[in-house]
Structure 1
Amino acid sequence: MKDTLDHLVVTKASGEKVLFSVGKLRLSLLKSGADEQQANEVIRQLEPELTPGISTKKIYRKAFAILKRISSTAAARYSLKQGIMQLGPSGFPFEKFVAEILRAQGYTTEIGVFIDGHCVRHEIDVIALKDGKRVMIECKYHNLHRNKSDVKIPMYIRSRFKDVEKVWPSEHEFEIRFHEVWVMTNTRFTDDAMRFASCMQMKLIGWDYPQKGGIKDMVDSFHLYPLTCLTTLSNSEKQRLLDLKVVLCSELLHHEELLHQVGLRDDRAKRVMKEVEELCNGSFSRT
């Protein structure tokens, strides 16, 4: 199996042709909660459907469908990246998602706060406070994997930060309002964006950046999965919950009535709650 797949050329979202990596696929399956036997079974069933030039997006979809039949909870974790992509298009669900991740780490957070800067008025996506330090956070949501945040974004955010960084009680005195500025995105940053941010002492947090402490690591550490990962809800049901400003699985944990509110009957609601509990508690169903 491995020798056959190691020579397979696949197409990334950018159009780039690369060699398929069985090891990377197996690792992503294991990280989702599948065991060795289940990961091998997914790869075994997937192999006959892998043709030269197949897109990585299609490989993901096929692997997800197989894994869902084996373990719905592992499939939900495996779909985390795609689940976050479904938090749009308004941007608010992603901002709330970011705020909740930070709250789990001991920050006090506010969303969508309007602040008068030295020159103009600004809306700050997320304000986070911890240990006496206040952080200004800009959230850059993308609905496609291939969309990266380029250097123009940290450059623009830094100019906003400099306008709101200080409060001027008088012409000659000022107080620090924000101590740091971060940019958080659900995809990745370009090399220039990372270089500029490093030079300007800005913090960037992306899907897997920095190497330890990216959004994926934070979600897995605190089991803060977006409800859009759930395999037991339809897309329309997920959207109705998002319309109610419900974003996280943990918000459903003790509020099953929200599922009834969007039209689920008792039997469906119980199936959803079972998956929610397994995700939030870090356990996995083997179905």
Structure 2
Amino acid sequence: MEPNFDIIKTSGEKVKFSLRNLRSSLAKSGADDQTIQEIITKVKYELYDGISTKELYNRAFALLKKKGSHLASKYKLKKAIYELGPTGYPFERFVAAILKYSGYDTHVSQIFKGHCVRHEIDVVAIKNDTTTFIECKFHSEEGRNCNVKVPLYIASRYHDLKTHWSATPQNSTLDIGWVVTNTRFTEDALQYGKCIGLYLLSWDYPNNDGLKDRIDRLGLYPITVSTQLTNREKQFLLSRDLVLYRDLLDDVFFLDHLGISEVRKTKINKEIKLLCKL
């Protein structure tokens, strides 16, 4: 029987608790049916009216971690991307890494001339003699979505860049502009982006090809998903521009620099291999 409880989202909105949603989120971690049912059974008896989604997540995460650290790592993906902050720079490098593994030649924080002014572009991706300008909108707080002001602003910058690009000799063609966010776009933002010709990429948009889908498909998880590293260690690695967890596999320099024991190194490597399927 479905428990009749309200849960409180990060935004403060009240919604009905859904076993189906909980089951779906656990399944996406890679947990088998037996593990999912065991967790659901335990969580159901700990529910109360007005429980926060954060508390619900923390409980499910703790139970998953007991079953396998790589399951817990994958389950915390969305939260892990928020932890790339507080600045947007690690997220930009993360987006560049995803595109690099998709066959693009990528660069971050590049300056280009526009018709009116110069612009710093978060990520430049080049593939098949086509250049793509990508702007990243990172939020470190849950519950904040990108409204229509974001694509409006990016569209104006892209128009200035495209005007100059079209008027001067170039070695490649300029693709449509991209806007990438770790949260979601409002309906107005999606509508405007589609109308003006911007490609919008968010946590779950486009359908089946959103940020989370690309991460899972490529096995490119951020360093912040790790259940084996401390927050201090993660921040140190991010400050050294190491954003992909898989890049830490069999690492010698950084792990030794952090003073990580051989036992922990073994656990880290095991988690990376299971999570990223290496």
Partner of 2:45: 48
Partner of 1:285: none
Superimposed CA distance per residue, residues 108-157 of structure 1 (whole angstroms, 9 cap, x where no aligned partner): 11111011211111110001112222111001111122010111110000
2:202 is aligned with 1:212: no
Given that 2:5 and 2:16 are in contact with CA atoms closer than 8 Å, whether structure 1 keeps it comes out as yes
Q: Describe the SS at the equivalent of 2:157.
A: helix
Which of 19, 39, 51 is the aligned partner of 1:22? 19
Given that 1:141 and 1:186 are in contact with CA atoms closer than 8 Å, whether structure 2 keeps it comes out as yes
Given that 1:107 and 1:130 are in contact with CA atoms closer than 8 Å, whether structure 2 keeps it comes out as yes
What is the identity percentage for the equivalent residue pairs of Structure 1 and Structure 2? 44
**2:59 is matched by which residue type in structure 1?**
K
Partner of 1:99: 96
Partner of 2:161: 164
Q: CA RMSD in A?
A: 1.7
Partner of 2:112: 115
Q: Describe the SS at the equivalent of 2:43.
A: helix
Superimposed CA distance per residue, residues 28-83 of structure 1 (whole angstroms, 9 cap, x where no aligned partner): 11111100000111111212221101111111111101111111111100000011
**Counterpart-to-counterpart distance in 1, 2:194 and 2:166:** 31
Distance apart, 1:162 and its partner CA: 0.9
Partner of 2:79: 82
**Counterpart-to-counterpart distance in 1, 2:24 and 2:186:** 25
Given that 1:164 and 1:178 are in contact with CA atoms closer than 8 Å, whether structure 2 keeps it comes out as no
Paired residues, what number? Answer: 277
Displacement over 6 Å in runs of 4+:
none
Q: Describe the SS at the equivalent of 1:251.
A: helix
**2:224 is matched by which residue type in structure 1?**
T
Distance apart, 1:244 and its partner CA: 1.2
Partner of 1:38: 35
Given that 2:101 and 2:218 are in contact with CA atoms closer than 8 Å, whether structure 1 keeps it comes out as yes
Given that 1:166 and 1:174 are in contact with CA atoms closer than 8 Å, whether structure 2 keeps it comes out as no
Which of 180, 192, 196 is the aligned partner of 1:196? 192
TM (norm. structure 2) is 0.95
Q: 1:45 to 1:114 in 2, by over 3 A?
A: same
**Counterpart-to-counterpart distance in 1, 2:153 and 2:71:** 39
Given that 1:206 and 1:215 are in contact with CA atoms closer than 8 Å, whether structure 2 keeps it comes out as yes
Which of 261, 264, 269 is the aligned partner of 2:260? 264
**Counterpart-to-counterpart distance in 2, 1:123 and 1:151:** 21
2:177 is aligned with 1:181: yes
**Counterpart-to-counterpart distance in 1, 2:150 and 2:190:** 11
Distance apart, 1:226 and its partner CA: 0.5
Q: Describe the SS at the equivalent of 2:86.
A: coil
